[in-house]
Amino acid sequence: MRTLQRYILVELVRVLALIITITSLLLVFVGVFQEATQRGLGPLQALAIMPYVVPSMLPFTIPATLLLAVCIVYGRLSADYEITAAKAAGVNVTSLLFPSFFLGGLLTVCSLLLNDQIIPWSVGNIQRIVTMAMEDIFFDLLASQNVIEYRNQGFSVSVAGVDRANNRLIQPVVRFSPGGKDEAIVTQATVATVRFDYERQQIILEPEEAWVDAPNQFVVLLRDKELPLPLPFGNDKIKSRHLTISTLEEQMGELSRSALEAGEQQVVEAAFLLALGEFEQLNQPRFQQYSSRMEADQSLQRKHHTELHNRFALSCSCFFFALLGGPFSMLQARRQFLTTFFLCFMPILLIYYPVILLMMNLSKTGAVDPGWAMWAGNAMLLLCSVFVLRKAVQH
C-alpha cells in the first residue's frame, strides 16, 4: 500500500514541478515587462528583479497547476484501469487519494509561507533595486530627452546638458507644483549638482546660484541652498498583500486607535462649539477633517482585515482543489486529461473566483464580515468535493 501511494506521490510531484516551471517562466516575463514598463527600468535592472517576480506569481498559479497535475495523474491511472485493479485487490479508493491530499496540504503551508514572508521580502528587494537604479534612470532620461517629468510627484526637470561624470546638470529648470496646483514654482540655475538621499526619499539639487520665481512673488536669488525634490516611486503606497501577517495585525491596531482618537477629538470639539453657540463651525472643513480621518483609517483597516482572511483562504484553496480534482478525475476515466481538467476548472473559473472577488469587494466596503465571507468559495469547493468523493468511492 505504501509503495502504491509513494508511486502516486512521486508522479504528482514530477508533473506538478514540470507545470509550475513552465507557467512560472511564462508569467515571469509578463511580470518583469510590466514592472520595467511602469518604472522605466533598463535591461540590466529588469534582469535583476526577475528572480523576485517569481514568488509574487506562485500563489495564483499553484492551485490551478495542482489541479491540472491531479487530473493528469489520476486520469491516467483510471484510464489504464489501475484504479479498478486496486479496488479489485481490496484497496480503498480514499487511500489512493491520500497522496493528493498530502500534497495539497503541503502546498497550502508553502503558499501561506509565500504570502506571509517571501512575497513581502521579494517586493522589498524589487523596491530596493528600483530605488538604487533611479539615479541611472534619472540621468539617462535627461541625457537622451533633456527633460524628465514626474506628474505624480508634481515636478519636472529640463536641462541643456548633463555632466554624468560629476553628477551635474547644465542650466537646469525645475518646475514644482506641490499638491497638483496649476501655479508652479520655477527654479533656474546655471549649474547644479545632483545627489540622491534614499533615507529621506529625496533628490537634492545643489545649485551654485539659483533664481526662484514663485507665484505672486518677486524673483529670489539663492546662493548655496539645497533644493529638495521627492524621489520618484519613493512614496508608492504599499499594498496589503505586500505586508506580513504580524505587520497587518500591528497596523490594524494602530488604525483602530487612530480612528478612536479622531472620534474622541471630534466629540470634544463639537461639545465646545455647541457650548459657544458657533453652530456654523460644524460644517467647516477643519471640523469635518476628523470624519475624513476616521473614514480613511476604517477603510484601510477593513482592507487589512480582508487581506488577512483572504491570505489563509487562498492558501487553503490548494487542499480543496486537490480534494475535488482527484475523485473527479477517477469518474472521468474515459476522457482525456485535458478535457477532465477543463470540465473541473471551468466551473471554478466561472463561479469560485467571481464569488471570491465579490466577497473581497464587499468585505473591503464593510458590507460583510471577511471572517466568513472569504471562506465562502472554499465552502463551495468542500460541498462539491464531498459529493464527488462519495460517487468515486461507490463506483
Segment 288-346, tens digit of pLDDT: 777 888 888 888 889 999 999 999 999 999 999 999 999 998 888 777 778 888 888 89
Cell of 386: 464531498
Question: Is 40 part of any domain?
Answer: yes
Out of 83-87, 153-157, 175-179, 319-323, give the one with best mean pLDDT: 319-323
378, 316 contact by CB (below 8 A)? yes
Give the distance, in angstroms, between the CA of residue 344 and the centroid of all CA atoms in the same chain.
27
In a domain, 23, yes or no: yes
User: What's the number of domains the chain is made of?
Assistant: 2
As beta bridge partners, residue 229 has 203
Same domain, 199 and 113: no
SS3 327: helix
Does pLDDT of 233 surpass 60? no
pLDDT tops 80 at residue 197: no
The reply to whether 99 and 68 lie within a common domain is: yes
Q: Which of 180, 211, 230 is the last residue of a domain?
A: 230
Task: For residue 182, name the pLDDT band (cuts at 50, 70, 90).
Answer: low
Same domain, 42 and 159: no
Domain shared by 117 and 69, yes or no = yes
SS3 annotation, 90-131: CCCHHHHHHHHHHHHHHHHHHHHHHHHHHHHHHHHHHHHHHH
Residue 346 lies in a domain: yes
Nearest to 106 by CA among 287, 289, 319, 259: 319
Listed residue (33, 34, 32, 24) closest to 49, CA to CA? 32
Domain annotation covers residue 83: yes
| Identity of the amino acid at 69 | A
Q: Is residue 256 part of a domain?
A: no
The candidate with the shortest Cα–Cα distance to 332, out of 15, 79, 82, 96, is 79
Question: Which residue's C-alpha cell is 502546498?
Answer: 107
> Using one digit for the tens of pLDDT, what is the confidence trace for 206-229?
887 777 776 665 555 566 677 777
Is 244 inside a domain boundary?
Answer: no
CB of 91 within 8 A of CB of 38?
A: no
Residue whose cell numbers read 461639545: 271
Cell numbers 466568513 correspond to 372
Grid coordinates representing 285 are 472643513
Cα atoms in the Cβ-side hemisphere of radius 13 Å centred on 336: 3
For 90-130, how does the pLDDT look when each residue is reduced to its tens digit (9 = 90+)? Answer: 888 888 899 999 999 999 999 999 888 888 888 878 777 77
Q: Which amino acid is at 287?
A: F
Q: What angle do CA 138, 57, 55 make, to 5 degrees?
A: 80
Q: Which of 215, 230, 245 is where one domain is finished?
A: 230
Strand order in the sheet with 161-163: 161-163, 168-170, 191-197, 202-207, 227-230
- How confident is residue 274, by pLDDT bands cut at 50, 70 and 90? confident
Range of the structural domain that residue 187 is part of = 153-230
Q: Give every CB contact of residue 103 below 8 A, 6+ residues apart in sequence.
A: 9, 12, 13, 16, 66, 322
Name residue 95's amino acid: S
Set of cell numbers at residue 348: 471554478
Q: Residue 60: count other Cβ atoms within 10 Å of its Cβ.
A: 13
pTM: predicted TM-score of the whole model, two decimal places: 0.75
For residues 130 and 158, membership in a common domain is answered with: no
- Same domain membership, residue 373 and residue 325: yes
Angle at 231 between CA 239 and CA 46, to 5 degrees: 65
Domain termination site, one of 185, 202, 230: 230
Within-domain flag for 184 = yes
Please check whether residues 322 and 386 belong to one and the same domain.
Answer: yes
Identity (one letter) of the amino acid at 59?
A: P
CA distance 4 to 10: 10
pLDDT tier, 379 (very low <50, low <70, confident <90, very high otherwise): very high
**Which of 54 and 351 is assigned the larger pLDDT?**
351
Cell readout for 370 is 471577511
Q: What does the pLDDT look like over 167-181, one tens digit per residue?
A: 888 888 888 776 555
> Which residues make Cβ contacts (< 8 Å) with residue 155, sequence separation at least 6?
149, 174, 175, 176, 177, 229, 230
* 272 domain residue, yes or no: no
Same domain, 83 and 124: yes
Q: Is the same domain home to 313 and 349?
A: yes
Query: Is there a single domain that holds both residue 26 and residue 81?
Result: yes
Beta bridge partners of 223: 209
Do both 9 and 122 map to the same domain? yes
Clarify whether residues 174 and 205 are in a common domain.
yes
Q: Are 184 and 177 in contact (CB under 8 A)?
A: yes
Residue 237 predicted with pLDDT over 80:
no
